[in-house]
Amino acid sequence: MIETHFKTTLSSITNDTALTERFWQEVTTEYNKPDRHYHNLTHLNHLVNELATIKDNINDWPVLVFSVAFHDIVYNVLQKDNEEKSADIAVERLSLLQPDNEAIEKCREQILATKNHAISKCSDTNYFTDADLSILGQDYDTYKKYTRQIRKEYRIYPDFLYRPGRRKVLKHFLEMPAIFKTNYFNEKYEQQARENMLKELKELG
């Protein structure tokens, strides 16, 4: 669970339990908002569980957990700078815990990488963005549930606007040489993810 990983990780960085609790309350408040049907705590739990299975491959686990918790702290379907705003908040909070410029910049890079999911020189970032996309490679029933949740988040847009946008997103991923950048996630989810997205594209018409 993200709460356990978050609080345990922060306790290894700071003895300020009040600050840890304040940050966690900020996370739960934002991710529990009623308009979040997919980008909520369930998503964070799934993401951190995917990463926990390969924790030994991660170079800086505390930073990665912090990035997971804050990467969608700002989520507004009407805006195009959610990742930038989320990164700004994350590094501001992290700087209160660990004034290490390298760690802070790593956190910023990881969150910004979720905007386009391009390959990074940092292996932790690649594991992070792969885990963020791992929903794409689930069985099709789970994938369909995810697409319905995303549609609810974009319910402000009528179908004639939503469908072309969704098709554009799917084609963006399908045109990538590899959706998943790490061997671990590529072998686990690449083929199923492509099958799922091609099937959705066909259903969208």
| pTM (predicted TM-score) | 0.94
Say if residue 186 is in the same domain as residue 89.
no
Query: Of 133, 149, 173, at which residue does a domain stop?
Result: 133
pLDDT for 97 equals 86
pLDDT for 84 equals 98
pLDDT for 101 equals 87
The Cα-based distances of 201 to 32, 147, 166, 171, 172 in angstroms read: 30, 12, 9, 8, 12
Q: State which residues form the domain around 91.
A: 2-133
CA terminus-to-terminus distance, the chain: 38
Low-confidence stretches of the chain (pLDDT < 50) are: none
Number of domains in the chain: 2
Q: How far is the C-alpha of 8 from the C-alpha of 175, rounded, in Å?
A: 39
Say if residue 154 is in the same domain as residue 169.
yes
